[in-house]
Every structure is written in C-alpha cells, then in structure tokens.
Structure 1
C-alpha cells in the first residue's frame, strides 16, 4: 500500500500489479485492447473473450500461455484490467479469435480498486465516469506509485519485472488486501469454470442501449477505416450513415440511432468530433458534411475489422468505380395496409385495421371471401355478385345503385386501390424496412440555366441506397463536367445531384446497367438527347 492505494496483490504466492501501479507504468505488461462497453463485463466478474479483443494493424503482442497481461480500452494506454493469457498469441489467431482469451484477476472499478483512492485512469476513454479526474489522476498516481515499485532508474519500465518483486519489498497490507479483496471482487473467479458459450452470453448482458452504442461505434470506425476515402470529402453525414455505416452493419443487426444513448446521429458525430476523430460543418443550409478525418487517430488505427468483413477491408485500396460495383439494388415489394373502410371485407379472414398484406395475400383473401359467400355469378363465372359489404367497400356512392356485378380483375384492382399503399425495401445484408406510401422513383429532370445552358438534376438516389456524392463523382469523371450537391427543395434530409449538360444517356447506362435498377423506378429517361448529338 502507498497512502491508500494498493500497489500489488498476491494470488497463490504470485505477485501481481494493481491498475494503480500500471497507470504509473503503463508499459510494464503486454497490453491487449478491447471496446469500452466490455469493461463493465470484466468489472462484473467476466473473463475477456477473444471476440472482445481488438486486433491492431500492427498485430497482437506476442505472449505465451500463462503470461500476465494488461487490458486497455481502445484509444487509451492506461490499463483497466490485469489477467493471465489462457493461450499463446499464435493459438489465439489459430482459433480465429474465438473462445476465452484471458482469465481476469483484477479490474478498475472492482473491490480492490475501491480499496484505493478510487481515482480514474490518467487518460480518459469512453465510459470512464468523471472527465474532471483527467489531469489530477495522472499526476497523483505518478507521485504515489513510484517509491514502492522502482529504484532510482530513470526508465523503470525496462528494468522492473514482476518476478523480481517479493513481498518483502512492499507493505504487508498489500498481501492481505490482495488475498481478501481478490476473492471478494472476482466472486471466487466463477469465470474460470464457465464454458466459452456461457462466457459469450456474458458478453451479451449489456442493456439494448449499450449494445446499440457499441454497434454504432463499431460501424463508425469500420466505415472510416474501410469505406471512406480522402477524395470523397466533404461527405454528407446522411450519406455517411446510410451508404457507409449501414454497409458495415453485421448481418442480422440493424443500426437505429433512437435506440442508442445519443438519440440523434448529429449528437453521435458531435461526440466523435470532441474526440478529434473528425470535423463536421454545415456547408449548405441545414445539411451537415464531414469535412475532415484524422486518419492517424489512435482509435481508427487500432480498430480491427470484424470477422466476415475481410472483403470490405480490401475495398480501402480499390478505385471508387470498383467499389461502386459492389452496390446491390434493393429488393422492393409493394404492400397493402387494411384501411378502416375495408375492414368489413377483411375481418372474416382474421385481419383488422392496419394489417399489412402482399398483393398475392390480398388476392387470396378476396377469392376466398367470394367463394365462402357464394358470390360467383352462376351464369357467367367471370363475374362476381356485389353483396352489401362489397358495395360499401368497393363502390362509389354514385355507382351503388347501378353496379350489381364486377369482373374478377376489376374487383381485385378496386380492392388494391382502396387499401393503404406501403412498400418494403430490403438492402443487401440488412433487415427489411416497411415504409408508408409508394416508393418515389429516382427523378431525373432537365433545367435551363443562365446563358441557355442545360443542367441535369437527379433526386431520390438515397431511397435506393445510392450515395449522391459518389454518383456525382463518378458522373463528373465520366462526362468531364462539373457536378454539385445541394439540398432537395421540400424534402428533409435529402440532396440532389446537379451536373452540367444533358447527361441522361450516361445516367441511364449507369443506373440500368451498372447498378441493375429496374426501369420502373427511374423517371425521366425519355428526356435523353436524340441520337447523333453528344451529351
């Protein structure tokens, strides 16, 4: 003990340094990094699983099985836990970074740490409770930690080894405290006997909000590291989220800012700006763009691309055209919601107001309704008799006295017309999303500017998962004409691409052939220049 801080603790006659000691000598032990949300699991008694270890570009430190190691948080060298490697570095990599990596002995925030002055790691990382402790904690620890551990050597890091320390060199309370507090803090180390599957579950006991925060962090760093190029800046924040971060989201998971602690994407980016990872500016009124990224920031450099995304990391060095070929056109399915007026027709089949149905489901329900109520005309089976419910649901007031029969196809088309339009969009590798109304097509228009010059304006690219900035950059290179981005009038959070000249031929080729979008979702292709004329 030095003042109130434990310096070492003993387990089975072996001495280990506390986090207080490691804050003074951060390089004393080989260090492995993890994400901030994992700290709570470690402090609660969990061991560190290999999926929770971030692999830096320089590779993991080389350690043998049984080696004493420090655990740090991404972007902060101050250790937050001490543990023993359950396998060598080679074995970790051979196991595909799966299973248990470290048996954790002691963490920042556990009972042993509480025995000290409860100060915080010198350099604050996310999830560290008190930013005010940043300066004072580092200096206090420097004064308090030096004497018991080091000699007069100017660089103790290279000369102090844990095996060289003995109980005689430190206060006897460290031994007592270490034994008592260790068992209390680690709850008799239950994690030692737990299976990797149980440990994996322990990783998932975070609140949904913490999980969403962690997912946003992961997708944010993944997108910056693998998807965004310097040449793309300035990049619209909405495009960065929709085109870059969404594509980094693991299969089966979905980014939803409202389920995170940030609530708004702008607030999330503000936090990243405060950490000096990037800079955001409002270049156009009401539209924010990322104007600068610190590619050398330790958090970006230390980020390891999750398993299963190796092909995405290769995109970092590819040309923007090559990367665009990875685009998959979304699958768009029209859907129908049961409106109040149509409830009588659908309630027999167990549906109510707001039920969402596909066109084939609607067709089957109508056919079954007609047959169940014996409404097929006996003399001509192409016609259906209109009963009071069909009359109320499908006929206008002026028609109700005149129409007693409807053809099958008219019956179905009238029914679809009177249901609420919806559509389901499924982007590659993401969960389907249902939206109200019919999907708006990509809208291509021509406009006249001063000096009688024409410009081509493209709207609604975002609805199809296309990055307007990327489309503008590629078009600009292809047709050698200037392209700009501006907010779409009357549409919140959307932008339009404007390029000089009539570029509809080039756009048609790009959208229909390269991006494989169905023609029915593109409006304005008929305005292409007539053959024989360029651009």
Structure 2
C-alpha cells in the first residue's frame, strides 16, 4: 500500500456522481475489505452507502490513484490505491462504528496519533492476552477512551505475532486521522453536521487549531428559530412544578461559586485556569499527564465564563514555556518529552497560590451542575454504582503505616492520596529529608518495601521517584458498590467479556461473562436481555479453576451478534464504564 496521502495538502480532480451499478461495486469492495461490514444490518449500512444512486460521489486526488467517497457531503470511505482497497474515514466510523475492529488507546498515546504518528503496541489499553484476533494488513480503527474513533489504518503484524513478540513494536500504520488534510477539507467545505466534532471530542478543537464552521453555525441558528416558531405543548401542573424546582436547584448550585467579572490579561487567565484545573478538575490518579492533554481537558473547560483562552496571545507564546514557568514557581514538577512536549508529574498542594486559590464559575460549571442534579435524583436512596481503586500495604511497607496510623491493620485499605500522605509523614518523622529538599535518604523500610532491595539503606533518591515506587509497590484492590452492597476485588479488576461466536453457517451467539464482579446477577441480566432484544438468552456455568471454592461463575449466552448492543445496554442501564467492557469476535 502507498504512503498516507492526507498528511500533506492535496488537490482534487472534481467529484463524480456514481450510478447504481458502480454503487454496487463499492458495496462489494467494502464487504471484501472490511470483515465486519457484511454482517451489519441494512439500516446501519444505509447511513454510509445508499441503496439507490443518490448523493454518493467519488473524488480523485490529482497525480494519484487515491480517492475518497462521499455520501451527502460526508467523506465515508477512502480508496487507498484506486483498486478497491477500501477503508472508512473517521466520519464514516462515527456514523457506523461497528464496520471494523477498533483498538482503544490510552491518554498518553492519542496526542501522538493526532500528530500523524503510527500506533505503537504499548499505547493500546489492553493486556497482551486480551488482544482480539486480527491478521497483518487488516483495516483497523483507533479510538480514545471515550470510545470515539480518531484514526484508521492497517495492522503491521498479526495478533499471533504480537503475542509471540510481546507488547512491543509498531502495531498500526495510520492512513487517516483527526486533523489531517482530508479531515480539514471536509471541515472547511462540507455543510453536513456529521462533519463536525462529536460532543465527546469537542474539547480537541482548540488542540487541533480548527477554524470555525460558519455554515453549520448558521444552520443551527435557523433550526433554533424554526423550533421557536413551533407551538409548544402545554405541560401538566405537576411537570411545570418539577421544572421550576430543577431551575431553582441549578441556580443554587451556581450561586455557590463566585463569577469572574473584572477584565483580565491573558497571563492572568492562564494562571487562573491552570489553578482551577489543578484544584477542581484533575485527580491524583490522572498523573502523570502530558501538558497538551492537561491544557485541552482541564484548562480550557475551566476558564472563567465569558473569556477565551489563547496561549499564543500571551507573553509565553507556547504552552511549554507556561508550564516551565509554573514549574519554576514550584507549583508542579515536569519532565521534558520529545518534540517539545512536557509531562506533568506532581502537584504541590502546599504551595501558597494553590492553598489560597478559590474556585470560580467556569464555562463548564452550569453543565456540570445540571448533570450533578440529575445524578442525585437518579442515584437516590444510595442506588448508585461506584468503582474505587484502593491500595493495601505489603508486609515490607506495613511498618511505614503502623508508625504513622495508630491501630493500623494489615488488611486496611487506603486511597492513593492517603497512602502518599502517610509516606511524607513517615519521611518527616524519621527525618529522612530536610524541609524544602526534594531528596530523600532511604531507611530500611523504604529500601526494602518500595525498592525491593534494588537500592540500599542510606542511598539518596528524589521525592518523585520515591512516591512512584512506593505507590507501585502497594497491592491494588478495587471497592465495588451497588445498591448499598459493597464488594472488594483483590488484584487487577477483570473486565466484562462479550464474545461473538459463529455456530455453523451464518448463525451467531454472544457470550457474556464476568458480570458477578460488578455485582450483577447473570440470571437477571439474561431475563432483561431476552425482553430487550427479543432473542433467546440462557445462563450456563463456567468451569472453575483448581482449588477455587464457592459458587461457579456463570455466563449469559444470547442469540445473534449482540456485542455493541449489550455494551451500550450495560453502560446506560447499570453504569458500567465502557473501558471495563471488552468486545471480541471470532
């Protein structure tokens, strides 16, 4: 296959509307190129390929065989070599996400993908043994943790080779990604709302420096005016009273935070948004975090209301210089990365600016207030679902906790913040570090427990290295709470596995296991899925490992290819995070 053509600007030879016979050839090419496309229902494929010859066009690039197909002004497929090797665009994947296999990457990998880099195997959010089956040179999508695809490409090795070689090396050659010149071409020229960023990816607009979509904005204004002209239905008195109560609750939530009204310089805005992000948005579990990711996820949404944040209009000019200034002020510690990036390692919560800073109203505060009020109603009577990561000290590190916490027990669990606070109290008690010094002298407990004798007693390490090794040495546990019932899982939290299997001919079944871990009863889930999808669903026992007692684990078996429907149902109905549900297909 040729090198990606959309990393550089291109010129088009014009658009050609396809007739019905050629349209059929495109559908056949899609079924041959994309393994899952042929199994999709007709209503799904109709979103990207029409059944009749209407508004489906092909655009060829000048000086190349590469072309792309558009449907109703939305680029949906790319012909990478002009010979029918078809791969979806990111727009096509947003419209029809089930047409090919998708791998999810972590927050550390996706900024590199948006810069046009290929995907390395360590950036995928899967354990080596949990990778789905795929061949070399197979079309594949790349998604961020929220589930939205940001790039497409071809695998450079099979899953068998990956598992033999370990989770190393380059895994996917990226052909098209969010922000490349094909994306920008559609963004600037297409009036279709499907060429706008989905809600889950809107925060990336500043990061990608995308221009405004004036055509879409005007269409939305016209739609709003039409909606205003339509007569509204009268609500019953009870519903009106509920709406009034909801409005009052939102106003009370907003009144709790002050609003910034005075004129501010861009430097002051950056500092305020930075402190707001540190204090009200980011958590310790998010660290370390890449600087550009922190800017788009935690600074932009936390700017004061009515203001725009633009680093280029400040004296810093670049985000790296601003973060370096914050590091010189000892608000954060940073680590330089390739290509001019930096990584935020730790936050100094004892810094005077951090302590004295008072949160204010942000652009996202009203939305968060309404979401929190809705969540309070839906989660009344303590019926919410929650997963909390907790840490338990090992035998070598228990002396650190028993020295600080009176009556500490070996089975006691701590949050990450509680564990780190205990570490610094222990360091101060044992006088392992002087006030204001970033170096720590190891004693017997720290050298044995945190570094597993890799460093000897009396050696000097930085506080960042000690905190990282200390937390990594603690045993992971997860507290799962549902309807007032609490369960603690030791070690790694196993995901729910949904696997589609062929049962001769064109018949499929979907097997779902691991529901008990999330306090779900397989028999109840099978009954609900049977009603929801009008399909036969049964429950069967799974084999138990040697030496394991208690009730045998069970799996739900439902007829049909139901991977995505089941994942969507579990996420919405039972609040299971999408990252804790893994899909496989044989």
Q: TM-score by structure 2 length?
A: 0.30
- Rg larger for: 1
Kindly indicate whether structure 1 or structure 2 has the higher relative contact order, using CA contacts under 8 Å at least 6 residues apart.
1
